[in-house]
Structure 1
Amino acid sequence: MDTHRDSFDGDEEGAVRYAIALSLQDHNALTSHSTAQNPIEVENSGNEDDDLDNGPKCPPTPKKPTQLIDGNVKAPMTSHSLPVPQTTTSGIQSTGFSALGLDRKKMEEERLARLTKRKAPHDDEIPKRCPQRVKIDRQPGGIPLKTTADTSVGTKSPQLPYLKGVVRKTWASGYPRQDDIKIEEILQKDHLELAVLSSFQWDDEWLLSKIDTKKTKMICIAFASSDYQKEQMRANVPRDRIRFCFPPMMPAGSMHSKLQLLKFPNYLRLAIPTGNLVPYDWGETGIMENMVFLIDLPMTKDSANQLTMFGQELCYFLKASGLDENLINSLSKYDFSETNRYRFIHTIGQSHVGEGWQRTGYCGLGRAVKSLGLATASKVELDFVVASLGSVNTDLTSAIYNAAQGDNGLMEYEKRTAGGRKKAAQKTESSYHPDNFRIYFPSHETVSRSRGGKNNGGTICLQSKWWDSPTFPRELVHDCKSVRPGLLMHTKALFVRQYQNQSQTSWAYIGSANLSESAWGRLVKDRASGQPKLNCRNWECGVLIPMESQAVKSGWAAFENKIPIPMVVPGEAYGKANSKKPWLFLEA
């Protein structure tokens, strides 16, 4: 009997962890049960002036291995069984960073030597500022990749590549370049001074090939299964170059957000990808694609600079994550005015009461829609591309649909918690909108025929027990095929249009959140106060992107030249017709 098929208990990201292990066959280490997470924990270097200009105060994690029994990869012992660092032949536990030969003692000796030399003006190791004018690099199509103009402090309109914000697909090896970007073009390692990174999955060696730690300090917002693992992770990196921040975790859930704050001389690049910090999510194996939102924020001299709602929610999310307050405050040195057209969408992995529940999860999504003037009582079309599906039900799909209309979560909550005749009457209403809500998830056939085949579908997750549940909205599921034939998609994207091509404003969400309760939360009644409470398992983040100048464009044309549509639309509705079976990663 395959007991592991029941071990995830609806925890989609627990299933993802197991799928990744199956896909990568990462024979690393033994696992242990997750320990309770402490409140926010941030390393403190003692420097009260630490900020985006001076470096971090507060992490990459090792790859998350699964349990090894008799040399075979096994399922987690529980739905949230999590790893501890690898045990080496010497008996010393280590992380991926130590495997790269980053000897902590040696690095400290080198750092002290550099400090001693630093008085010499000819010292080659003194960090050098980039010249004010940088050579223009261009990819096919003439898209500039690097800053091209005078970037002196206070310049009102430096010609930064992504000053207004853009969405790109990730480059994929073997495919023509169009509307895509490589991670090297985002990170620009020769000029990068500080990188604040978060990810669900990490490839340490690969990441350090993209970032020059002699020039760039790193803050990695990461997951660790225990205090012991945190200490081991800290012990195996150079503390003056790489620091860790561990967000507080629910007993079950994942640090699933993907976020990059990249400091260059006199501007900040904000990147929100849908993929992790691993080579196949950035196209290097030519089997998987993702998407990324980018915007460049110039520095400002305005002492009264005010953060936009986007900036406020970004800071709210970073503060909840446990990032150093001085660093967060230093974001006010950058001009966020171009983000006013967007909204930062997040899920904070906690229980939220009071007014806090309206700021995060699907409640926060609805609030953001309304704040941009996109709320509507009319029907909308939803097309949601996902890489993972768990125990989805019509409560969740209804909540997401309502949020897309600008509802703060109370509409579905009140219907679900209503009693007596009122509840019976409301149950007769359509709760999941089968005619205008499409979930894009690949069929078994699509994965099998992909460029990487079944052996490379491990990060695309669904289990038969969830699919076969009578509450699973199979009628909504459409086959997910990339417009770049043969590629699998690890993309998470929601496209919202007016029903039947009415010419009203459309918008999209690009980010880390799949369609799951773990990713978007569930609104329940708080026993103590009787008021709504939002329970969220995961940490997620994304961006809401409205389409402009919609007067003459409707339907999919609304996204033309704004967001590259990654999938074939509308896709075959195989769930409703039962014409195909979905990709079931445990039964491939």
Structure 2
Amino acid sequence: MDDADLFDGDDDAALRYAIELSLQEAGQSIELPSSKDATATGSIVISSDDEDDDLDRGPRFPSTTPKTQTPGAQSSELKQPAIGPVQTPSGLASLDRKRMEEERLARLGKRKVPNSAESSPAPSQKVKVHHQTTAGQSGSAIPSQGFHPPAAKSSLQYPRGAVKKTWAYGYPRNGDDIKIEEVLRRDELQLAVLSSYQWDEEWLLSKVDVRKTKLLLVAFADNELKKQQIAANAPSSNVRFCFPPMLPYGAMHSKLQLLKYSNSLRIVVPSGNLMPYDWGETGVMENILFLIDLPYITDPKLRSENTLTPFGHDLSCFLEAQGLDQGLVKSLKNYDFSETGRYAFVHSIGQPVNDDRWSKTVKPMADVTSGCCGLGTAVSNLSLGTTTDIEIDYAASSLGALKEDFLRAIYYAAQGDSGMRRHKERAAIAARRLAAPAASSDIKTRFRIYFPSYDTVASSRGGTQSAGTICVQRDWWEAPTFPRGMIRECKSVRPGLLMHSKVMLVRAGDSTPAWAYVGSANISESAWGRLTVDKKTGQKKMTCRNWECGVLVSGTKPSLTARYEKPDLASAFAGIIPVPMKESVDGYGADQDRKPWYYREA
């Protein structure tokens, strides 16, 4: 069997496999997706005594019998992690959790929590736990609209939603960033559903008090034995796991967080994993996130009559597909989603999805809502679709084996197409009934992809040792079909920081508002999928290898002046998101001296 057969033609899956091999050769313990198919584990049991308010009460899980372990030597202090991704171990089965938690609780008993936020630790210092319970409402947020049932809103920090960059050690705070402590609000947190592609367990447990907070971790495991090992290593009965079904060489790449408090639910959609460097604690890398606080509906009658917005509906579909208990999914209706009406939850389900829908607990929809089809549907539903040319600036931390066909599908989706336009073009071109798209609408002049050069990585604060999660392969880059002319240099507006952010910024030349995608999806077919249509039945099928999720955030209609003057990125998206990268005209196509950062050649 050759390599093409092994990966079923999926170049992004081949990249993950190559990275895994290189890490094994280097003796590292980072766990990446393998070729074995992962299936759903036993269902998580949720309490449902008299009401279905499961998020309000928190889950009650089946008991597990821990396996006997040999305690390993553990440090008595929480050490600062290595500054870069390459040196940081990951994998939920890698630590002696029980002993680790006992030592952590002992340390907590000796510490005195300060009344005010401490100054940020230097990278060489030990990480301190901050208990900052207030955060400013500054940053990018959209004005309020819609009806709100009676609910406790006075304590909500982000009732209308906001986009924030992650805080980074050593950089001034300008109101557009946020710390992991400010996201989690440890002292008030009752239940957390956390997702990640990579994990630093000891660091995570320093941010959450598992004595009083229930954790449901959505993670990857490639076989039943590993699932059992991970579950048995849980440091507390309050920690349980959900393992979404996987395709071969797929990735559980979503970073979604659902954070439950006494009177509210916080939804967080980051681009970063649960690793200290992704949250700025080593001062070498940044990410971006969307968050919104939803109030609990206190009136029982209004709660029973509440219906979800399209945002809530798509979130429910995503959670259900991952294998979360239906009781937990249904309990989302106990929260007021009305402020999410201006947003769209865009997701990729790591399984083939047909247009006859698989949903059991939420209302079926006619269109496929996974991957780039879901992106196009979301754009259309928010009245952001257009038939005019658009401008796309997409910053990503990983590039697949890109081809124009895939990029054109993304471009059409950003115009509001739900997938069929590019499919029909392919069919017509294959039948020689249609020429390639005209040069006047060529995406090569309107679609810019931001990825850092070797020089940018080498001159960053962390250097080449901090770029282990920024990936592209030389073989793909040098392929004749790779769109090198569309790639631009990627530099953060905070000098010296590397970007792990995934951001798509879209502008139209007409009165359509500018909008942005913020989430976990890099620009690859594994992340956004491919649509196929059965020739006999006409049934549509979207296949994504990865689990991804993000949020579509829009602004207001541009003025006539803005339409004709074409302001820079930061100005065009002011009030929508804090644009993390510098707008760049520095490409790679004609500059033979500029080369991209090749992960495997570091």
Pairwise same-fold verdict (TM > 0.5): yes
**Residue 245 to residue 30, structure 1, CA distance change in 2 (3 Å):** closer
Matched, 1:52 2:52: no
Report the equivalent of 2:320: 319
The residue identity in structure 2 corresponding to 1:387 is S
Report the equivalent of 1:229: 226
1:32-51 to structure 2, matched below 5 A, reads 34-39=35-40, 41-44=42-45, 51=54
Matched, 1:478 2:475: no
**Residue 247 to residue 139, structure 1, CA distance change in 2 (3 Å):** closer
Instruction: Pick from 471, 494, 500 the counterpart of residue 461 of structure 1.
Output: 471
Cα drift, residue 284 of structure 1: 0.6
Runs of 5+ consecutive residues of structure 1 not aligned to the other structure: 60-82, 87-93, 108-134, 144-152
The residue identity in structure 2 corresponding to 1:310 is F
The residue identity in structure 1 corresponding to 2:15 is A
| Structure 1 residues 277-315: Cα deviation after superposition (integer angstroms, max 9, x where no partner) | 000000011100000101000011223111100000000
The residue identity in structure 1 corresponding to 2:336 is D
**What is the alpha-carbon distance in structure 2 between the residues aligned to residue 13 and residue 27 of structure 1?**
20
CA contact (8 A) 2:135 2:157 kept: no
CA contact (8 A) 2:47 2:54 kept: no
Secondary structure at 1:478's aligned position in 2? strand
Cα drift, residue 23 of structure 1: 8.1
1:156-305 to structure 2, matched below 5 A, reads 157-178=153-174, 179-238=176-235, 240-300=237-297, 301=299, 302=302, 303-305=304-306
Q: Which moved more, 1:411-420 or 1:546-555?
A: 546-555
**Residue 442 to residue 472, structure 1, CA distance change in 2 (3 Å):** same
Report the equivalent of 2:451: 441
Report the equivalent of 2:361: none
**What is the alpha-carbon distance in structure 2 between the residues aligned to residue 545 and residue 29 of structure 1?**
33
**Residue 9 to residue 550, structure 1, CA distance change in 2 (3 Å):** same
Report the equivalent of 1:119: none
**Residue 136 to residue 257, structure 1, CA distance change in 2 (3 Å):** closer
**Residue 156 to residue 238, structure 1, CA distance change in 2 (3 Å):** closer
1:554-569 to structure 2, matched below 5 A, reads 554=563, 555=567, 556=569, 557-569=571-583
After superposition, the CA RMSD in angstroms is 3.3
Cα drift, residue 37 of structure 1: 2.2
Secondary structure at 2:413's aligned position in 1? helix
CA contact (8 A) 2:210 2:236 kept: no
Cα drift, residue 244 of structure 1: 0.9
Cα drift, residue 579 of structure 1: 4.6
Runs of 5+ consecutive residues of structure 2 not aligned to the other structure: 63-88, 106-130, 140-148, 358-366
The residue identity in structure 2 corresponding to 1:319 is E
| Structure 1 residues 151-181: Cα deviation after superposition (integer angstroms, max 9, x where no partner) | xx94364251100000010000111112100
**What is the alpha-carbon distance in structure 2 between the residues aligned to residue 212 and residue 262 of structure 1?**
13
**What is the alpha-carbon distance in structure 2 between the residues aligned to residue 188 and residue 473 of structure 1?**
43
Count how many residue pairs are aligned between Structure 1 and Structure 2: 515
**Residue 141 to residue 332, structure 1, CA distance change in 2 (3 Å):** closer
**What is the alpha-carbon distance in structure 2 between the residues aligned to residue 364 and residue 140 of structure 1?**
33
CA contact (8 A) 1:85 1:229 kept: no
**What is the alpha-carbon distance in structure 2 between the residues aligned to residue 442 and residue 251 of structure 1?**
29
Secondary structure at 1:425's aligned position in 2? coil
**Residue 256 to residue 11, structure 1, CA distance change in 2 (3 Å):** farther
| Structure 1 residues 342-366: Cα deviation after superposition (integer angstroms, max 9, x where no partner) | 0000000111223446211000100
1:379-458 to structure 2, matched below 5 A, reads 379-418=389-428, 422-426=432-436, 433-458=443-468
CA contact (8 A) 1:40 1:321 kept: no
Secondary structure at 1:196's aligned position in 2? strand
**What is the alpha-carbon distance in structure 1 between the residues aligned to residue 508 and residue 237 of structure 2?**
51
CA contact (8 A) 1:19 1:461 kept: no
Secondary structure at 1:292's aligned position in 2? strand
| Structure 1 residues 42-73: Cα deviation after superposition (integer angstroms, max 9, x where no partner) | 233676667112222569xxxxxxxxxxxxxx
**Residue 432 to residue 227, structure 1, CA distance change in 2 (3 Å):** farther
**Residue 97 to residue 21, structure 1, CA distance change in 2 (3 Å):** farther
The residue identity in structure 1 corresponding to 2:537 is S
1:327-342 to structure 2, matched below 5 A, reads 327-342=328-343
**Residue 476 to residue 327, structure 1, CA distance change in 2 (3 Å):** same
Cα drift, residue 496 of structure 1: 0.3
CA contact (8 A) 2:429 2:436 kept: no
Report the equivalent of 1:66: none
| Structure 1 residues 301-333: Cα deviation after superposition (integer angstroms, max 9, x where no partner) | 223111100000000000000001111111111
The residue identity in structure 2 corresponding to 1:155 is A
Cα drift, residue 16 of structure 1: 4.9
Cα drift, residue 246 of structure 1: 0.9
Report the equivalent of 2:95: 96
Cα drift, residue 395 of structure 1: 1.0
Cα drift, residue 424 of structure 1: 4.9
**What is the alpha-carbon distance in structure 1 between the residues aligned to residue 538 and residue 180 of structure 2?**
47
Matched, 1:572 2:568: no
The residue identity in structure 2 corresponding to 1:234 is A
Secondary structure at 1:412's aligned position in 2? helix
CA contact (8 A) 1:23 1:458 kept: no
**What is the alpha-carbon distance in structure 2 between the residues aligned to residue 99 and residue 586 of structure 1?**
36
Secondary structure at 1:388's aligned position in 2? coil
